[in-house]
């Protein structure tokens, strides 16, 4: 009975974790388990002195993120105290850590992918790509799937760091891969949504979108949703290669960096137009929107029917996901570029003035 109870507790704890960028390999941006309640307050904050554009991972009571100093940092989730620091390259940009089987993976702006022990911060291996790495790693089928600005998507052996395969695209790979049914999907800078088989690195699909995309695709109900530099949000059927709809704001023509969150038939995404958009997933028509005071580059997270997002205006927002009603606006004192990570009723997010903040009620 005790063994069963321990197993159930471990399963529940795992279900509350946020192990990678967007929370899961499908990149839906939806958190399971206990959702943070409003009003949120600062539970703790860590100050590092350099920008934090990397979005946190939360696993097993620890927080992991990269900094502009080039450090991969681990904090205690309950207290914010430093567990360890690992020096990567000169700087870590938007690449956000992924944690799997006791190892933390992240890329840096010198083009190196790092694997570090989650318990101690000890280096396991490194792999050098041909240019900077801004994409976030995703772990699947024993491989670390990650893109580089050298135009390649890599499948690295998760234990050794050796390249199992390399797939060359026609442009920089900024997008993090969404992995569904053994296929890694990237919306690349070469104007294509590509499907690359994780097992062997072979391309199984290529849909021409004609748009430069830095945002990662989100997958739900057999569709891919992503936003582009050409001021659009689009939905595709990856099997047929058909573009189902395109959304463009009628007046405000600005690029999107934010990756979408999918919730109950809504596609929720922030834009450089300063607006958080909620679109009908079936038609692409706007259901609700909210204009902030600066551009939104981070990606929203949905938990418990609420949307959590940090803006370039230095404010952290909470909205009702269904109606768009604003539930809270918290002034952080610095702009956000990182996306929230949500686990166990708490939100963790980094700021451009070098802080990592944990919010809870």
Q: What is the pLDDT of residue 195?
A: 96
Q: Is residue 92 part of a domain?
A: yes
pLDDT digits (tens, 9 = 90+) for 7-16: 333 333 445 8
What is the chain's mean pLDDT, rounded? 94
Total of domains in the chain:
1
Residue 96, pLDDT > 80, answer yes
Q: What is the pLDDT of residue 7?
A: 37
Domain harbouring 32, CATH code = 2.130.10.10
C-beta separation of 55 from 350 below 8 A:
yes
Q: Is residue 8 part of a domain?
A: no
What distance in Å separates the CA atoms of residue 183 and residue 92, rounded to the nearest whole number?
27
Residue 4, pLDDT > 60, answer no
C-alpha distance from residue 109 to each of 72, 137, 265 (Å): 13, 14, 36
Res. 212 pLDDT band, cuts 50 70 90: confident
Res. 113 pLDDT band, cuts 50 70 90: very high
Residues 6+ apart with CB under 8 A from 32: 15, 16, 303
Task: Give the residue-averaged pLDDT of 29-49.
Answer: 95
Q: What is the pLDDT of residue 199?
A: 98
Res. 154 pLDDT band, cuts 50 70 90: very high
Residue 256, pLDDT > 80, answer yes
Which candidate, 104, 11, 91, 107, places its Cα nearest to that of 52?
91
Rg (CA), the chain: 19
pLDDT digits (tens, 9 = 90+) for 280-316: 999 999 999 999 999 999 999 999 999 999 999 999 9
Residues 6+ apart with CB under 8 A from 130: 111, 148, 150, 151, 152
Q: Which tokens sit at 115?
A: 């694997």
Q: Is residue 292 part of a domain?
A: yes
Which candidate, 261, 282, 252, places its Cα nearest to that of 340?
261
Q: Among 33-37, 106-110, 188-192, which is the least confidently predicted range?
A: 188-192
- For the beta carbon of residue 157, count every other beta carbon within 10 angstroms: 15
Percent of the chain whose pLDDT exceeds 90 = 89
Which candidate, 274, 284, 343, 349, places its Cα nearest to that of 312?
274
Res. 259 pLDDT band, cuts 50 70 90: very high
Query: Looking up tokens 């809504």, which residue turns up?
Result: 266
Q: Is residue 5 part of a domain?
A: no
Q: What is the pLDDT of residue 11?
A: 37
Which candidate, 111, 217, 198, 108, places its Cα nearest to that of 158?
198
What SS3 class is residue 12?
Answer: helix
Query: In DSSP terms, which residues pair with 301 in a beta bridge?
Result: 308
Residues 6+ apart with CB under 8 A from 103: 115, 116, 117, 118, 124, 158
Res. 33 pLDDT band, cuts 50 70 90: confident
The parent domain of residue 228 ranges over 18-360
Q: What is the pLDDT of residue 2?
A: 34
Residue 1, pLDDT > 80, answer no
Phi, psi of 68, rounded to the nearest 5 degrees: -65, -15
Residue 5, pLDDT > 80, answer no
pLDDT digits (tens, 9 = 90+) for 302-357: 999 999 999 999 999 999 999 999 999 999 999 999 999 999 999 999 999 999 99
Q: Is residue 10 part of a domain?
A: no
Q: Among 10-19, 119-128, 166-175, which is the least confidently predicted range?
A: 10-19
Task: Give the residue-averaged pLDDT of 96-109.
Answer: 98
DSSP-derived letter for residue 37 is: P
**DSSP states of 131-195:** S---SPPEEETTEEEEE-TTSEEEEEETTT--EEEEEE-SS---SPPEEETTEEEEE-TTSEEEE
Q: What is the pLDDT of residue 210?
A: 86
Q: What is the pTM of this model?
A: 0.94
Query: Looking up tokens 């933390």, which residue turns up?
Result: 104
What SS3 class is residue 16?
Answer: helix
C-beta separation of 35 from 345 below 8 A:
yes
C-beta separation of 142 from 153 below 8 A:
no
Q: What is the pLDDT of residue 189?
A: 86
Q: Is residue 286 part of a domain?
A: yes
Q: Is residue 173 part of a domain?
A: yes
What distance in Å separates the CA atoms of residue 269 and residue 313, rounded to the nearest whole number?
16
Percent of the chain whose pLDDT exceeds 70 = 96
Burial class (CB in 10 A: 0-12, 13-18, 19+), 7: exposed
Q: Is residue 97 part of a domain?
A: yes
């Amino acid at each position: 009975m005790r063994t069963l109870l321990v197993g159930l507790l471990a399963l529940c704890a795992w279900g509350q974790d946020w192990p990678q960028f967007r929370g899961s390999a499908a990149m839906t941006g939806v958190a399971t388990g206990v959702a943070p309640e409003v009003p949120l307050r600062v539970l703790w904050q860590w100050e590092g002195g350099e920008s934090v554009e990397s979005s946190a991972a939360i696993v097993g009571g620890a927080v992991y993120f990269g900094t502009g100093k080039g450090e991969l940092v681990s904090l205690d989730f309950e207290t914010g105290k430093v567990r360890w620091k690992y020096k990567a390259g000169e700087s870590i940009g938007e690449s956000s850590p992924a944690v799997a089987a006791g190892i933390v993976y992240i890329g840096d702006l010198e083009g190196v992918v790092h694997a570090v022990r989650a318990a101690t911060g000890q280096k396991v291996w490194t792999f050098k790509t041909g240019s900077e790495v801004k994409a976030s790693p995703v772990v699947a089928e024993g491989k670390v799937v990650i893109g580089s600005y050298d135009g390649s998507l890599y499948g690295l052996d998760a234990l050794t760091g050796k390249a199992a395969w390399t797939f060359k695209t026609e442009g920089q790979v900024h997008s993090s891969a969404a992995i569904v049914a053994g296929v890694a999907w990237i919306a690349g800078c070469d104007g294509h949504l590509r499907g690359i088989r994780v097992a062997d690195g072979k391309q199984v699909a290529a849909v021409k979108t004609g748009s430069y995309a830095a945002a990662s695709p989100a997958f739900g109900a057999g569709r891919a949703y992503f936003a582009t530099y050409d001021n659009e949000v689009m939905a595709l059927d990856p099997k047929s290669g058909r573009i189902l709809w395109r959304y463009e704001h009628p007046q405000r023509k600005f690029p999107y960096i934010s990756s979408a969150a999918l919730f109950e038939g809504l596609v929720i995404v922030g834009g450089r137009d300063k607006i958080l958009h909620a679109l009908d997933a079936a038609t692409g028509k706007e259901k609700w929107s909210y204009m902030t005071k600066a551009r939104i580059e981070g990606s929203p997270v949905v938990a418990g029917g609420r949307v959590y997002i940090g803006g370039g205006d230095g404010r952290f927002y909470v909205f009702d996901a269904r109606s768009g009603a604003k539930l809270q606006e918290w002034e952080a004192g610095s702009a956000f570029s990182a996306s929230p990570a949500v686990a166990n009723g708490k939100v963790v997010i980094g700021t451009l003035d070098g802080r990592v903040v944990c919010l809870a009620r």
